[in-house]
Amino acid sequence: MRRILTSLAFMSVLAGPALADDSQIVKSVKLADLQRILVEDGYTINSTGDDGAVSIRATDEENTGLIFNVIGTACEVEGVDGCLGINMQVRYDADGEETLERINDVNLMWAATSCWYSEGGTDGLSPTVGFTRYVILDGGMTIRNIKDNLLNLLAIAPQGADYIWQTGAYAPDGDDW
């Protein structure tokens, strides 16, 4: 009986998430790695593969309700097993009220992310305003740092969107706008 319990315990350790240690350094990621990172921090995975083989659409239901994308980049290059970069994005449908001036202001005010406008959007039909945080894993990065980069994006995007569309804290009060 003792041997069976020891074997079961050993097998559960092997079957457990490989990225459970936030201090672990990774030099590339696969789809399963990104899924584990998101699930560990409580995000809801909505779909995979919408933006390429190593891509996830997820929701931060506990905090902001934002839908975001995590996309592996530079995948399977130079003999590397996995992706050497991670593109994290929050996308908003543009409504014509945004200006390139305000989008550029967002890039100056919140330099940790890049804000962009696409006339054709990601579907080629609908204008989109997006916020991106791009992470390069060359040389290695801790799992915690990947998670923190996503946290920063999810905190900045709503503030930047409020600034672009002059809502929330940036709503015109009649004096400044």
Nearest to 91, CA basis, from 112, 114, 107: 114
Token code pair at residue 125: 């039909």
166: tokens are 């002059």
Q: What residue type is assigned to position 36 of the chain?
A: R
Contact (CB, 8 A) for 60 and 69: no
Please choose, from the candidates 54, 25, 56, the residue with its C-alpha nearest in 3D space to the C-alpha of residue 38: 56
Q: DSSP assignment of 79-135, as one string?
A: T-SSEEEEEEEEEEE--S---HHHHHHHHHH-TTSEEEEESSTTTSSS-EEEEEEEE
User: Distance from CA of residue 75 to its chain's centroid?
Assistant: 17
In the predicted model, what is the mean pLDDT of the chain? Answer: 87
Per-residue pLDDT tens over the stretch 47-59: 999 999 999 999 9
CB atoms within 10 A of CB 112: 11
How high is the pLDDT of residue 48? Answer: 97
> pLDDT for 60-84, tens place per residue?
998 889 999 999 999 989 888 999 9
